[in-house]
Amino acid sequence: MCTLEKRGDLFFLTLTGEGEHRFHPDTISTILSLLEQAKSQSTRGSVLITTGHGKFFSNGFDLAWAQSAGSKTGAANRLHQMVESFKPVVASLLDLPMPTIAAVNGHAAAAGLMLALSHDYIFMRKDRGVLYMSEVNIGLSMPDYFAAMVRGKIGTSAARRELLLSGKKIGGEEAVVLGIIDSAAHDSAEGVVEATVRLGEKLVARKWSGEVYASIRKSLYPELCGLLNLEARIFASPKL
């Protein structure tokens, strides 16, 4: 389902297996537990890299599990459960006391894209994988914190329109042009991870205070943090 590995100051959160990495409540719970583990083991200079195996980074919530409830009401309740249980994952990433990098190995759709956007940096392959917000095509409304994430993380109204209102699947190179991701100059999943490791090692070398880093990060996204019930703490410099 997912694993956490620590190599020196780098943490690797990996969505394992060759499937779509759908977010079932059990998967969400496991991801949250692993993020809490990374936080508890963090030191000055730690960095998190999140990636996946196979064709998908993540294809979003487990809609098949929701629909298996047997009724429209039951399906809606299960979808609401996943939307609400995913909130702490986003909050945990924004509150994590270290820089975070998403190494997007394949397709990232809906909540899977929100997982990637919850990171400070996003790297993709140039040869494979798309970003896709499917809600307009499948007739689902946008959770408030998803919309706040897009407003906070994606700088132009044109890019936000392309992502949310076109039903379009956006490849890596176009995503760079739109300002959604940072890099798509990689020919394989391994190449994406290698590039994020190089960035991660540069960030490790800065030996920043994780608490200060997280506080500054949260201050950049006040609307999103408000919806997630996160508050930015102010840390005084020891030199003052």
CATH label of the domain that carries residue 188: 3.90.226.10
- Asked if residues 30 and 2 have their Cβ atoms less than 8 Å apart, the reply is yes
In a domain? residue 131: yes
In a domain? residue 161: yes
The boundaries of the domain holding residue 222 are 2-228
Q: CA-CA distance, 4 to 40, in Å (whole number)?
A: 13
Q: Which two three-digit tokens encode residue 236?
A: 């005084």
In a domain? residue 104: yes
Question: What is the predicted pLDDT for the residue at 238?
Answer: 53
In a domain? residue 223: yes
Domains identified in the chain, total number: 1
Return per-residue pLDDT of the chain as tens, 240 residues: 899 999 999 999 999 999 999 999 999 999 999 999 999 999 999 999 999 999 999 999 999 999 999 999 999 999 999 999 999 999 999 999 999 999 999 999 999 999 999 999 999 999 889 999 999 999 999 999 999 999 999 999 999 999 999 999 999 999 999 999 999 999 999 999 999 999 999 999 999 999 999 999 999 999 999 999 998 665 555 554
User: In angstroms, what is the C-alpha Rg of the chain?
Assistant: 17
Question: What is the predicted pLDDT for the residue at 94?
Answer: 98
In a domain? residue 236: no
In a domain? residue 239: no
In a domain? residue 165: yes
Question: What is the predicted pLDDT for the residue at 240?
Answer: 44
In a domain? residue 208: yes
Residue 203 sits at the vertex; the CA angle it makes with 91 and 180, to the nearest 5 degrees, is 55
Q: CA-CA distance, 201 to 203, in Å (whole number)?
A: 5
